[in-house]
Amino acid sequence: MEEWDGQVPRPATWWVKAGVAVARFGDALTTGADLVNAAERAVLQALERMDGPADLVCFFVSGVDPEEVTLAGERVMELSGSAITLGCSATGVLGDGRGVEGQGAVSVWGANLPGVELTPFRLDTVVEDGNLAVVGMREPGPADRAGILLTNPYEFPTQGFVRETTAALGGLPLIGGMADGLRGEGSVRLFCDGEVAQNGAIGVLIGGEGVLGTVVSQGCRPVGPHMTVTKAEGNLLLELAGENAYEKLERLVEELSDEDRELAEQGLHVGVAIDEYADQHEQGDFLVRSLVGADPEIGALTIQDMVEVGQTVRFQVRDASTADEDLARRLTEFGAAHAVGAGLLFSCNGRGANLFSRPDHDVLAVQRILGTAPVAGFFAAGEIGPVSGVNHVHGFTACLLAFAP
């Protein structure tokens, strides 16, 4: 077994069983103009780093041509043997201790999970009595500990579905992300257990003792006061604390420090309080939503979610320093309670080089703090993860699903 200095990632998670070093997880990330060739190299490298066959193979493909992405995903599934396979297209991927954004790349993560039950599923939408219904969700069994969920955000009602899952699935935590493609709508591909889909959602339920838990870390911090929504229509904020929402925002920006005003000019967001009954609403207490429009004539702000009168909101700015500190703190707390063998990481496409100036910040933080190497995932168009026992869709977060060694 090779020595590890804490800086260079090991090729797999190792532990000793009956005097023999055993590797139960492996990951690999490859790049190249030939995406199918990159897929072959990635899956073979990941599986070669494991002792024994994989039970679960998760993979993520970034490429310009959606058809080539399809072929690459099919090739990974072909070479994964009898493993359950789950993957999607993305604008960037994570694995092997690095991140790659905006170019052809394939990340593959394999796991040998003795005693763990894996149940793949595929979700579609149908119209019933004039309403949109989601069909295909498996009912969790008593042994299920978590579910991975990957969706096409352009046509699947991810936020509405995830909002209902905590109650509908008996509190089962879901983690994952919204897939995307380098050509946006129409370029999303979902891969599940040998099949390819362009719409809906896919996932797998994981039962047994192999899942340790989840970590959700935000990349935004609040600025200004918290405010009650006093008038709203759908995703339009019309009044905050009884005042014109647009004018409220203008005054807020004027009162910000020079540093915060500069961050606000790079992109301002709205945080919707997770717990309305909390005494304070600080960092991590909000679901962050993008502010996508403002209309001074009607005084409205448009955000990427529905909002209701009575909800508490607070404006947010993306802050690399705060995001780094929050991720380190949450990983440290999790690592103090668990020995982690491997992980799947779903990081917002607004993080990476867009926030930290380097695409591998999050994956390196997980490896460094938790002391584990096989971590893979992708840059998502929205992340799925539980907070305080409730499943949510997030923005600008890093969501980790941790596995036991």
DSSP labels for 84-136?
EEEEEE-SEEEETTEEEESS-EEEEEEE--TT-EEEEEEEEEEEETTEEEEE-
- pLDDT value of residue 26: 97
Task: Please check the confidence at residue 100 and state whether its pLDDT lies above 80.
Answer: yes
Mean pLDDT of 369-394: 95
219 secondary structure, DSSP code = S
Q: What is the mean pLDDT of residues 56-85?
A: 98
241 touches 312 (CB < 8 A): no
Rounded to two decimals, what is the model's pTM? 0.89
What count of residues does the chain have? 405
Q: How far apart are CA 397 and CA 106, in angstroms?
A: 22
Q: 35-48 vs 66-78: helix axis angle to the nearest 10?
A: 30
pLDDT of residue 290: 86
92 or 22, which is more confident = 92
User: How much is the average pLDDT of 275-287?
Assistant: 72
Note whether 386 and 165 are within 8 A (CB).
no
Range name among 5-9, 26-30, 132-136, 368-372 with the lowest pLDDT average: 5-9
Those residues with Cβ within 8 angstroms of residue 302's Cβ, 6 or more apart along the chain or in another chain: 235, 236, 237, 291, 292, 293, 294, 295
Q: How many CB atoms lie within 10 A of CB 67?
A: 11
pLDDT score of 346 more than 80? yes
The sign one gets for the Cα dihedral 340, 384, 91, 43 is positive
Token pair of 168 as six digits = 């509908």
Q: Are 144 and 230 in contact (CB under 8 A)?
A: no
E-strand ranges in 249-363 read: 268-273, 286-295, 300-303, 312-318, 342-348
pLDDT for 127 equals 86
Spans of all domains in the chain: 12-217+323-403, 221-318
Q: Which residue in this structure is represented by tokens 């802050």? A: 319
197, β-bridge pairs: 190
Res 278: pLDDT: 67
Higher local confidence (pLDDT), 265 or 178: 178
Residue 69 clears pLDDT 90, i.e. is over it: yes
Residue 277: predicted pLDDT: 66
Q: Which of 380, 260, 374, 398 is nearest to 316 (CA)?
A: 260
pLDDT computed for residue 304 by the predictor:
85
pLDDT at 18 over 80: no
Flag whether pLDDT at 373 surpasses 70: yes
